[in-house]
A and B are shown apart, each in its own frame.
Chain A
Amino acid sequence: MTTTSPAPARRRSLASAPPSLRVILVKIALLAIVDAIAVFAASILFFQGSWLVLGILLLGTLLVNVVYLHPGLLPAKYLTPGLIFLAIFQVFVVVYSCYIAFTNYGDGHNSTKEDAVAAIVLQNTQRVEGSPAYRVTVVEGAGGLGLLATSPDGEFLVGTAEQPLEPLDPASVTQEAGRATAAEGWTSLPQQQILQRQQEVAALQVPLGDDLSEGFLRTTDAVNAFVFQSTFVYDEAAGTMTDSATGTVYTDRGNGQFESDDGQVLGTGWQILVGLDNFLYPFQNQQFGAALVSVTIWTFAFAILTVGLSFILGLFLAIALNDPRMRSRKVYRVLIILPYAFPSFLSALVWLGLLNTQFGFVNEVLFGSADIPWLTDPVLAKVSVLLVNVWLGFPYMFLICLGALQSIPEELTEAATVDGAKGWDVFRLIKLPLLLVSTAPLLISSFAFNFNNFNTIYMLTRGGPRMSGVDENVGHTDLLITLVYKTAFEAGTGRDYGLASALSILIFIIVATVSAIAFRRTKALEDLH
């Protein structure tokens, strides 16, 4: 910026002029709202014991207050909201993905070890076959919560978690239609209390005998209780899970699941950090690595060809429709922009119908009912997805080219013509370089977008037709991103968020490298200017 004398003077006056009362009031009101929300969030976090998040929240709030209450700090006042949103919606997401890439998060490794142990025990707690169904009343005694049970033959029993079920004298029991509703020495819990202590009631196990393995009474609705037996026992000290029915011991070998000595694994495991395992997967699994290489080549071809072809088409149309001699230019422009106005996955589905081998418009009408396998032949499928993608992409190129063309001053063309240049030369030597200066960054971002163009591929071919001779589910039109999707979510071994995150990071590295190199080249282009 040039430093002329009035500018600093103005800046000084801005900083020193006392803000009006209205501005101060609005500022205080806005800050109060922000602080109120922050206090609300902080109190929730406090009770949940999420100390780290609480700390970050408090620090952030403090910062916001300092920035807006402190005089001066003008740049920070403008930047702070943007930076906060950047942190929440971008930085956090990226950091979280990176973290997931180092874990085994996915099907069968969904939560913590504690949760997995609880789930395994729960899954293997089953009703004893042929055992009687009891009707119960939840009661409370000196020994805590208990169940007052009425057996199918009209016997009354009571017990708690510590005190096994024992018969009661019918005289000490209040009955209602043959069901015990209260007993001497016990307080029956009213419905409201039961609802408030649901977790406790649902977790209550009243043993039938001295040993829990004989079975225990448990209720899931506070009205009916059944005899259950738990076949899996967790030994906290040893960290092992024992199947009491077969005596098999399952040990935690540090790979996020319980494993027996003969290699049997329990389905429910937990999340652990696995280091670089996910990143090394393509290198250790050779077949997948080979598929990855061929898919990478096609992905580059797809992205470059899409951008190149749609740019050429868009530029051609822009030049044609920028010519003042052309009539009804506005109508044509609207028509051309139409494909851009439809959601791309919708257009892709329409194209899927158009390209159907037997019933599609393309074969039926344009090729006289020929049976051209547009989407099922390996080469034609590639051509088809390219064509559709160019159709989807050219209106954007048309728009940016039209804008760029109109910003090139007419005088330049006139000057070149005066100097004796012919039409093509004017375009090649004057207009195109100027055009590229402003459109090149957009072309690069368009490349990055098409590199990950999941919609078009997935809606049209789902990556197919499948490559023969490769074990992995890899198709001829698969892009890296669809391959990642299939590997992580459709491989048949369950969802694997860890692997998916790691592979997306690999894709990010590729795209970032290509874009960085390309942007550096663009700088050189600007120097021409």
Chain B
Amino acid sequence: MQRSSVMKIAGVGALSLTLAACAGGGTPAPAESESEAAGGGELVIWMDQNRADALADVIETFQSETGTTVEVVVKDFGAIRDDLTTQAPSGEGPDVVVGAHDWIGKLVQNGVVAPVELGDIAGDFEDVSISAMTYEGSVYGVPVSIENIALVRNTALAPEAPATWDDLVSTGQAAVESGDAEFPLLVGIDPNTSDPYHLYPLQASYGGPVFGINEDGSYNADELEIGNEGNVEFAGALAQWGADGIINLNISQDIAKEQFANGASPYTITGPWNLADFQEAGVEYAIDPIPSAGGEPATPFVGVQGFMVSAYANNPIVATQFLTDYIASEEAQTAIYETGQRAPALSSAFEAAQENPDVAGFGAVGAEGVPMPNIPEMDALWADWGTTQAQIIGGQASDPGAAWTAMAEKIQSTLDG
């Protein structure tokens, strides 16, 4: 689809000829030689402001080394998924985009991303980041950052990391009783739709992953596990925590962040994105694994962000070169880490970032985690999953187990179509 840029240039050529009153066939010859002088390739990249700033130097190097012209289009991170889906088929879309790994299933279903064969360099990345970017056996892009939630502890209120869940609850409640704190634990959720992502580690400690896992580590969409015995048990525990005030529907994400920064609770479950506020407020904190409530490891979902190639890319060769030679470089990975504070995906950059105790803390927890499912079927879960959790926590569901089972059946019927 080199066509379209030639067409544009040809259009300009035709216009200039027409304006010069030379009615007749407009040969795009002069324009063509211009583009040859520029080196040929022209790469369009969609990314958010943060990463655009981080990659400015890398892109500069790429341009001078390859003679390719790069056009960076700054977009809201969340808007990239839909914009790519709707605009790529027109042929006017980008060559490369930044995105979250859990979009991949939907993007593949819509036929707008192309696999990238990493070859040997796949081994240079953290395993979890490659498996997150893999869908149905193909890798769709180069990972750049890894993020996950963990337990953040106020070291003044709780000097020791909790060994068990009961330990966490009793320390928290003791702090509330002694008047040092207001809340035993802070988890930011929504009163009507809860937040399955933030509560997932606790759920995983009872029931394991929400979908079955194949031998190669990918999720099996045909095997819905959200209604298994362990998860039903989790529903009971959730009701209990709701009644005891351990999990509180009225604590939104903002309130959780603000109250923890005020020192109103010894513990919060959150991600690296809130640390800057805690530091600003002068809270002394440590990052710990979330203790298991149900016996199994309390593993969070790991989110991975990466750069992907559009299936409709006009410049597929340059796009792949940019990804495998530049985005996969330690320089680019470190630059993105430094502006975004999320752990880099490239192992060498990841090791280097371990000097930062925050990154090391979250990284250790994430190493045990599982990637958030990237299969399109995951979309069927969130709405019902969240509202059912909220009803259980709020005590509207008189039989939590039955409510949970009903939800699992509902999701299954949605998946069956």
Residue B85 lies at the interface, judged by CB distance under 8 Å to chain A: yes
Interface residues on B, range: 35 or more
Among A191, A195, A464, A494, max chain B CB count under 10 A is at A195
Mark each residue of chain B from 235 to 274: 1 if its CB lies under 8 Å from any CB of chain A, else 0.
0000000000000111110110000000000000000000
Q: Which residues of A contact B85 (CB under 8 A)?
A: 107, 110
Residue A194 lies at the interface, judged by CB distance under 8 Å to chain B: yes
Q: Which residues of B contact A110 (CB under 8 A)?
A: 85-86, 89, 110-112
Tell whether, in the assembled complex, residue B15 and residue A39 are in contact, meaning their CB atoms are under 8 Å apart.
Answer: yes
Tell whether, in the assembled complex, residue A40 and residue B119 are in contact, meaning their CB atoms are under 8 Å apart.
Answer: no
Tell whether, in the assembled complex, residue B11 and residue A40 are in contact, meaning their CB atoms are under 8 Å apart.
Answer: yes
Closest chain B CB from A341 CB (angstroms): 24
Number of A-B residue pairs with CB-CB distance less than 8 Å in the complex they form: 190
Closest chain B CB from A146 CB (angstroms): 16
Stretch at the interface among A43-51, A72-80, A446-454: A43-51
Tell whether, in the assembled complex, residue A493 and residue B417 are in contact, meaning their CB atoms are under 8 Å apart.
Answer: yes
Residue B315 lies at the interface, judged by CB distance under 8 Å to chain A: yes
Interface residues on A, range: 35 or more
Mark each residue of chain A from 296 to 323: 1 if its CB lies under 8 Å from any CB of chain B, else 0.
0000000000000000000000000000
Q: Which residues of A contact B114 (CB under 8 A)?
A: 122
Residue B30 lies at the interface, judged by CB distance under 8 Å to chain A: no
Question: What CA separation (Å) do A402 and B15 show in the bound complex?
Answer: 55
Q: Which residues of A contact B311 (CB under 8 A)?
A: 118-119, 122
Instruction: From known contacts A39-B18, A466-B387, infer whether A359 and B250 are also in contact, taking CB-CB under 8 Å.
Output: yes
Question: What CA separation (Å) do A236 and B11 show in the bound complex?
Answer: 35
Mark each residue of chain B from 1 to 38: 1 if its CB lies under 8 Å from any CB of chain A, else 0.
11010011011101100110000001000000000100
Of the residues B39, B112, B315, contact of A198 by C-beta under 8 Å: B315
Q: Name the CB-closest residue of A to B381.
A: A492
Q: Which residues of B contact A48 (CB under 8 A)?
A: 4, 7
Tell whether, in the assembled complex, residue A376 and residue B394 are in contact, meaning their CB atoms are under 8 Å apart.
Answer: yes
Tell whether, in the assembled complex, residue B110 and residue A36 are in contact, meaning their CB atoms are under 8 Å apart.
Answer: no
Q: Which residues of B contact A471 (CB under 8 A)?
A: 410, 413
Closest chain A CB from B182 CB (angstroms): 10
Question: What CA separation (Å) do A291 and B376 show in the bound complex?
Answer: 26
Tell whether, in the assembled complex, residue B115 and residue A123 are in contact, meaning their CB atoms are under 8 Å apart.
Answer: yes
Tell whether, in the assembled complex, residue B117 and residue A226 are in contact, meaning their CB atoms are under 8 Å apart.
Answer: yes
Question: What CA separation (Å) do A220 and B139 show in the bound complex?
Answer: 13
Q: Which residues of A contact B414 (CB under 8 A)?
A: 491-493
Q: Which residues of B contact A356 (CB under 8 A)?
A: 191, 250, 252, 255
Residue A393 lies at the interface, judged by CB distance under 8 Å to chain B: no
Question: What CA separation (Å) do A465 and B395 show in the bound complex?
Answer: 13
Binding site for B on A (CB under 8 A): 36, 39-40, 43-44, 46-48, 107-108, 110-112, 115-116, 118-120, 122-123, 125-127, 133, 191-199, 201-202, 220-224, 226, 228, 267-268, 353, 356-359, 375-376, 461-462, 464-466, 468, 471, 473, 475, 486, 490-495
16 A-B residue pairings within 8 Å (CB atoms): A36-B19, A44-B8, A47-B7, A107-B110, A122-B114, A123-B111, A198-B41, A198-B318, A221-B321, A357-B249, A358-B250, A358-B251, A375-B191, A376-B191, A492-B381, A493-B380
